Amino acid sequence: MKIFHISDLHIGKHLHFYNMRNNQIEILSQIVDRAKALRPDVIIIAGDIYDKSVPSAESYTIFDWFLNNLSNIEPSIAVLIIAGNHDSAERLDYASGFLEKHNIYISVQHPRNEDEYLKKIVLRDDYGELNFYMLPFTKPGHVRGLFEDGVVTSYDSAIRALIEREKIDYSKRNVLISHQFYIAGDKTPETCDSEQIYISVGGIDSVDIGCIKDFDYVALGHLHGSQSIGKSHIRYSGSPLKYSISEQRHVKSITMVTIKEKDSDLIIEKIPLISSQDVRSDKGLLSEIISRVTDKNKHDYISITLTDEDEIYRPKDQLEEHYDHILELRIENSRTKAQLEDSEHETTVLDPLEAFRLFYQDMQGTPMSMEEEKIMMDVINTLQLHMAAE
């Protein structure tokens, strides 16, 4: 069975206030084209469909367009979708019953009652049945009530308990779809700026791969860099687009996996996805930065660091004559380095709530409401309690 594994579409994403709508349509079109050409049996989307839990009308339209184009491919391709930490379960689950009639399956909720289990989709190929277990993003508090007191005390114990509860027959071929932060013992996956805010300090949201290693393939979402963790068959597909400067060296792709008979080696290939607008940084003198502009790169999302020692007249105005998507402009020379060294001696350590207030104001352009401050304070208190208990 041939599988396309993608995740972290983040439809509706803005990059430093630039709307990435056209970039996302371009890259989703490439995924549709690759599906038409390579004819996978299954397309897995492992969470974070939308960038916000309350997506814009435009975001709904883009995802609807994408699903329609996939469902129009003949012969039909099964599409399996789970919710990520960015997704609203209710909004993503809308019309799921209708979508299943078109071979599109969505799982947005963990089991909540004793008679509920992970959504399981069974598909067939020349080698028999292949079981797909769908595990959307889950917090310990979501499932603690399913187990005896003391069983679920962390993310790791929550996921482990859910998997064990399924009583999976590992003599059969099984695939897990999951959206969590997985580690392998003391080995952690590579992360980038665009996702680090969602990974808890101290790694309290981490899940060890020990509880999922017996699956034949594990299709992960959550991290934006394509990589395996601990075992070659446990993989993050990565996001299909670059969503921060820290991702500039990523090679975005579809992870294509071919599963044959039980215990045979997987065939894992990467199908490149190329955006017409790159996300990158450049550093040098103003004249050097300008000299490097081309018809191909002038529309890139670019972070620029100028190293000129002399004062420059309106550097951003000069650069904007050549680059039309400047993300940030920094000056780095002997003067600014000296200022930085001076400021390091006067560093003020902010309390977590005040730091988040400043971050929220910077990202949203508006102060936090009283309700939002209360929610954030509850989160901080919970984290501090967890860390104190370790």
- The enclosing domain of 11 has a CATH number of 3.60.21.10
Asked if 235 and 380 sit in the same domain, the reply is no
Number of domains in the chain: 3
My answer on whether 235 and 169 are in the same domain is yes
CA-nearest of 46, 112, 36, 127 to 79 is 46
For the chain, the average pLDDT equals: 90
Q: Are residues 340 and 235 in the same domain?
A: no
Query: Tokens at residue 350, please?
Result: 């902010």
The reply to whether 309 and 371 lie within a common domain is no
Average pLDDT over residues 177-193: 93
Residue 306 main-chain phi, psi, to 5 deg: -95, 135
Contact 121, 77 (CB under 8 A): no
291 and 322 together in one domain? yes
Closest CA to 300 of 323, 317, 318: 323
Nearest to 39 by CA among 271, 282, 371: 271
Domain hosting residue 268, numbered range: 2-272
For residue 82, the one-letter residue type is I
236 & 366 share domain: no
Q: What is the pTM of this model?
A: 0.85
Q: What is the reported pLDDT for 376?
A: 85
Residue 319's pLDDT is what?
96
Same domain, 257 and 379: no
Q: Which ranges constitute the DSSP H helices of 253-333?
A: 286-291, 315-320
- How far out from the chain centre does Cα 203 lie? 17
Same domain as 333, residue 373: no
| β 18-19/14-15 pair status | antiparallel
**Collapsed DSSP state (helix, strand, coil) of residue 372:** helix
Q: Helices (H), strands (E): how many in the chain?
A: 12, 19
In this structure, the answer to whether residues 188 and 330 fall within a common structural domain is: no
Residue 388 pLDDT more than 70? no
Mean pLDDT of 65-69: 96
User: Model confidence over 195-231: pLDDT tens digits?
Assistant: 665 665 456 799 999 999 999 999 999 999 999 999 9
- Give the integer Cα–Cα distance in Å for 377 and 371: 10
**Same domain assignment for residues 382 and 358:** yes
On whether the CB atoms of residues 338 and 363 are closer than 8 A, the answer is no
C-alpha 231: how far from chain center: 20
Strands 279-284 and 267-272: unpaired
pLDDT of residue 44: 98
Residues 292 and 264 in one domain: no
CB 239, CB 8: distance < 8 Å: yes
